[in-house]
Structure 1
Amino acid sequence: MPDWHTLTYVVVDVEGNGQRPPDLVELAAVPIVGGVIGEPVSWLVKPDTPIKHFATRIHGLTNKDVADCPPFADVTDHVLAALDADALVAHNAHVDVDVLRRKLGDWKVPELFDTLKLARRLLPDVGSYKLGSLVEAFRLADEIPEGLTPHRAAYDALVAARLFVHLAAKARSVEELRGTSGGEGDDAPALF
């Protein structure tokens, strides 16, 4: 059974503008190589349409904050380089992946691990699976670098990376993370 450390991961989080479908305002990526969490990188970008007030209430970003930021097209190459990994990780991953697919066109999503789904499977008695609740339950925000705050992309990606490492340690192997050991068969869904 291959150890989960054998894959390289990138944990992502996006913050949107409140539109339907959401457009990107902020993106962060945190690498995990050899089981070690790296430094977050993040990009603030000017969305195609203005940020709605209710989105600002969640992440705190205003249209003024992004007025002088580049459009996403100007950072695409840097984002693609940051996303170059064996596997992508996100909490409630379909939201992040949908935004990234829209922004990156023909980008191919690598193997995907959703920490929300993993937590539900590996931590059945936690109660709430909201990222903030899991951060509190497992003290994932301890020693967070100064300046990172909840509901901003770098903070959320970093605590999701810590959550993933916590869950991966419980699973012990890639197969167990995928849900393909312990009698579940090899036909696990694409979103883990």
Structure 2
Amino acid sequence: MNFSSWPELLVVDVEGNGTNPPDLVEVAALPVRDGQPDTSTAGAWLTRPRRPVTPVAAGIHGLTNERLANKPGWEEIADQVHGLLGTSWICAHNAHVDYKVLAAHLPQWQPAGVLDTLRLARATYRGLPKYSLDALIEQVQPDLAHAPAQRHRATYDAYATAQLLIAMAAHYDTWDQLVAAAVPPGLPGAPEPAKDPTLW
């Protein structure tokens, strides 16, 4: 894979407060450049949700209401997040979730495309019993020595997802092949279905 052929791409991960629909409590956006995660230009934000964090959610990511009490509200950081994301491609694990939540919080935002490492892993590593982020980390053994924070925090999960994306990209010759395997139907960047020449 020639990484220089890649468009601008950021691996994203979000954590929520546990409500439905969720309020954001953490967002991470990590650029991938020249086949490496670029932590020097990454963005990470903690934000105080409008509704309290549920005990279940706090138990997963450790972001309690007390810890978030003095963080800015979403409206205070939305422009910063939008500014970093721009119109770049994004990548996430089970990308429908992250894309849907980000789009709900940033109604003017539209990425060029959305790669899903869950979909990509199913195409790349056929026959695995599980395709969760933990299962793929165990399968691929990416270098996470420099991953920030810990599992289930947005910064860590974005870094891990970036390393998995880079590892799986090695199985594809071109960006277009990667897109064909990794973009879920109906999300931005999905290849156009081939048209039947017999139809008007």
Q: TM-score, normalization: structure 2?
A: 0.85
Counterpart in 2 of 1:31? Answer: 31
Return the alpha-carbon distance in structure 1 between the equivalents of residues 109 and 149 of structure 2: 28
Gaps of 5+ in 2: 191-200
Counterpart in 2 of 1:122? Answer: 124
Counterpart in 2 of 1:189? Answer: 185
Return the alpha-carbon distance in structure 1 between the equivalents of residues 35 and 144 of structure 2: 18
Counterpart in 2 of 1:183? Answer: none
Structure number, greater radius of gyration: 2
Superposed displacement of residue 141, structure 1: 4.9
Give RMSD over aligned pairs. 1.9
Gaps of 5+ in 1: 181-187
- Aligned residue-pair number: 183
What amino acid is aligned across from residue 48 of structure 1 in structure 2?
A: R
Return the alpha-carbon distance in structure 2 between the equivalents of residues 132 and 141 of structure 1: 14
Aligned residue for 1:171, secondary structure, equals: coil
Superposed displacement of residue 116, structure 1: 0.3
Residues 1:63 and 2:59 aligned together: no
Are the equivalent residues in 2 in contact too, given 1:122–1:171 (CA < 8 A)?
no
Residues 1:166 and 2:167 aligned together: yes
Return the alpha-carbon distance in structure 1 between the equivalents of residues 8 and 109 of structure 2: 18
Amino-acid identity (%): 37
CA deviation map 1:87-133 (0-9, x unaligned):
11000011111111111112113211000000001111332100011
Superposed displacement of residue 4, structure 1: 4.8
Residues 1:178 and 2:179 aligned together: yes
Return the alpha-carbon distance in structure 2 between the equivalents of residues 85 and 140 of structure 1: 28
Q: TM-score, normalization: structure 1?
A: 0.88
Return the alpha-carbon distance in structure 2 between the equivalents of residues 163 and 89 of structure 1: 11
Moved over 4 A (4+): none
Return the alpha-carbon distance in structure 2 between the equivalents of residues 11 and 89 of structure 1: 5
What does residue range 14-25 of structure 1 map to in structure 2 within 5 Å? 14-25=14-25
Superposed displacement of residue 154, structure 1: 0.1
Superposed displacement of residue 62, structure 1: 0.3
Superposed displacement of residue 48, structure 1: 0.9
What amino acid is aligned across from residue 23 of structure 1 in structure 2?
A: D
Return the alpha-carbon distance in structure 2 between the equivalents of residues 53 and 87 of structure 1: 33
